[in-house]
Amino acid sequence: MLIKSYNNQNLDLDLPSSLNLNNLLALPALIDPHVHFRVPGGEHKEDWKTGAQAAIHGGVTTVFDMPNNTPAITTAEALRNKKQIIDEQLSEVEIPLHYYFYFGATPDNLEEIKKVKDEIIGIKLFMGSSTGNLLVDKRSNQEQIFKLAAELNLVVAVHAEDEIKIKMQKEKFKDNDSIKVHGLIRDRSVAASAVAQAIEMAEFYKTKLYVLHASTKEEVDLIREAKAKGVNVSAETTPHHLFLDSEAYAVLGSKAQMNPPLRTPEDQRALWAGIADGTIDTIGTDHAPHTLEEKARAYPDSPSGVPGIETSLPLLLSAYNKGKLSLEKLVAVMSGNAQKIFELPETNDWVIVDLNLEKEVRNEDLKTKCGWSPFAGWKLKGWPVATVLNGKVYNF
C-alpha cells in the first residue's frame, strides 16, 4: 500500500486496510538515545517486555539504555548478563527492538571499558549523583575517562551536574522538605558548571562529548560556543524540559521531580532556540519510570525520574501543529541526528502518524509498567497510529 512520507515520497508499506491512509504520513521511526528500562534490578518499575511495548507505542524502534541498574553495568560480565536477559524478554514479546548500551564509568573501571568498547554506544559518566550509585565526581578520574574514550573513539555521555555544589546545597536546604527545594539544590549553576567542565575536557583530549538532558539557557550557550570553536560536542534535551517548567511542582508534586530539575520558561525558550539553530541535536526522553508508590514518598525520599517514551512524539507533533518546528526538524532531532552522531546502521523502520488526531494522554492507555505520565490529561494534536519494525506492522 502506498503511503506518503514526510518528505513527499511514496512508500510502499504493507499496512493493514483498517488504516485510512488519506490522513496519514510516514516518518522515520524514532531513535530514543536515552532510556532507563531498569533491567536488571528495577523490574518492578519497567522491564524490556513493557519497555519495548511502550517504545513501539511511542513510535520508537531504537533505544540506548542506561547503565544505572542494580548492579550497575560497569563490568564486561554485568553487560553480558544484562544483554542475555534483554534478549529473552524481547523474544517473549516478539518485538525485536534495536537497542544499544551505555556503559557506566566508575573511578577505576578503565580496563573494563577497554574490554567492552565494541559492544557499547558510549560511556555514561555521572559527574553528579542521581538514581543509583554511579558517580565519578573527581576531576582527575573524569580526565582519565575522557582520555581513554578519545583513544578508543568512544562517545562520553555526561550527566552534567556538579556534585560539590549539590552536596553544599543539600546541606543548606536540609531543614526544608518541600519538593520545590529540589530545583534550588540542583540549581542552574550546578548544571552549567559541570557542562563547562565537560567541554574543557572534551576540547583538551579531543573526545566526542554528548551532553545529556541539557535544561538551562547557560548550557545551551556553552554548547553553542563550544561547537563554534570546533569542539566535538552534541547535545540532547528532553520533552519534559521542553514542555514543563518548575511551576509543575504545584500540580504534580514529585511526579515533576527529575534530575536535572525542571527550569523556567526562559530556559524553555533557550532550548527551543537551540533546537532551531542546531545547538541541540537530539531529543532523548530520559524515560525513567518509578512506581506511583515510590513517587508518593515525601521529598527527598521520592525518587527522581519520569516516564516519557510514549508521549514524546505526540508532544512534538503538537508543537509542529502550533508552528514551533518543521517536520524536517522534528525528524532530525528525533531520529536523523542520533543516527549520524552515533553512526548507527540505517533501518527501514517507520512510524505512521495522524497529524490531525486529537487525543488526551491517559494513564490507562500507557504500556509502561509504571502506568503514569506527567502529561496525563494533556490534549495533544498529532499521534502515532502504527509503527513498522523490521517490516512488521504494530498497529495500535
Active-site residues: which are they?
A: 286
Query: Across the strands, what pairs with 301?
Result: none
Q: Does 43 bind Zn ion (CB under 5 A)?
A: no
In the complex with ligand DOR, which residue's Cβ is closer, 207 or 257?
257
Query: Should residue 36 be labelled a site residue for ligand DOR when binding is judged by CB under 6 A?
Result: yes
Show the CA angle centred on residue 116, arms to residues 333 and 368, nearest 5°.
45
Based on CB atoms, which residue is closest to Zn ion, 304 or 318?
Answer: 304
User: Taking CB under 6 A as the rule, does residue 182 contact ligand DOR?
Assistant: no
Q: Please name which of 78, 97, 77 lies closest in space to residue 87, comparing C-alpha atoms.
A: 97
Q: Judged by CB under 6 A, how many residues of this single chain contact ligand DOR? A: 10
Contact letters for Zn ion, residues 281-320 (x by CB under 5 A): -----x----------------------------------
Pick the closer one to ligand DOR by CB: 227 or 240.
240
**What span, in angstroms and rounded, lies between the C-alpha atoms of 59 and 27?**
9
Contact between 35 and ligand DOR (CB under 6 A)? no
Tell me how far, at minimum, the Cβ of 393 lies from ligand DOR, in Å.
32
C-alpha to C-alpha distance for 142 and 203, rounded to whole angstroms: 13
Minimum CB distance to ligand DOR smaller for 274 or for 284? 284
Site track 131-150 with ligand DOR (rule: CB under 6 A), x = hit: x-------------------
Nearest distance, CB of residue 210 and Zn ion, angstroms: 12
Selected from 50, 62, 109, 130, the binder of ligand DOR by CB under 6 A is 130
From 259, 285, 318, 339, residue interacting with ligand DOR (rule: CB under 6 A): 259
**Binding residues with Zn ion: total (CB under 5 A):** 1
216 interface partner picked from ligand DOR, Zn ion, none, CB below 5 to 8 A per type: none
Q: Which is nearer to ligand DOR, 244 or 258 (CB)?
A: 258
CB atoms within 10 A of CB 325: 17
Examine residue 254 and tell whether it contacts ligand DOR (CB under 6 A): no
Residues between 55 and 94 with contacts to ligand DOR, criterion CB under 6 A: 68
Give the nearest distance from C-beta 131 to Zn ion in angstroms: 8
| Cα–Cα nearest to 63, from 391, 395, 364, 368 | 368
Query: Phi/psi at 346 (nearest 5 deg)?
Result: -65, 145
HEC string of 99-146 equals: EEEEEECCCCCHHHHHHHHHHCCEEEEECCCCCCCCCCCCHHHHHHHH
- DSSP classification of residue 333: I
Q: Which grid cell is 248?
A: 509543575
How far is 230 from 312, CA to CA, in rounded Å? 30
227 binds, among ligand DOR, Zn ion, none (CB under 5 to 8 A by kind): none
Which CB, 182 or 224, lies closer to ligand DOR?
182
Residue choice 305, 307, 382, 384 for contact with ligand DOR (CB under 6 A): 305
Closest to 231 (Cα-Cα) out of 257, 252, 277, 200: 200
Q: Work out whether strand 10-12 and strand 60-65 pair parallel, antiparallel, or are unpaired.
A: unpaired
> Cβ closer to Zn ion: 281 or 286?
286
Distances (CA, A) of 44 to 186, 292, 370: 27, 11, 8
**What does 258 bind: Zn ion, ligand DOR, none (CB cut-off 5 to 8 Å by kind)?**
ligand DOR
In order of 45, 131, 294, 296, 340, the CA distances from 290 in angstroms are: 5, 10, 6, 10, 31
Cβ(258)–Cβ(306) below 8 Å: yes
Residue 244, contacted partner among ligand DOR, Zn ion, none, CB below 5-8 A by kind: none
CA 162 to chain centre: 20
- Give yes or no for residue 46 binding Zn ion (CB under 5 A): no
**Minimum distance, C-beta of residue 259 to ligand DOR, in the bound complex (Å):** 4
Q: Nearest CA to 224 among 280, 283, 269, 266?
A: 280
Query: Which residues form the interface with Zn ion (CB under 5 A)?
Result: 286
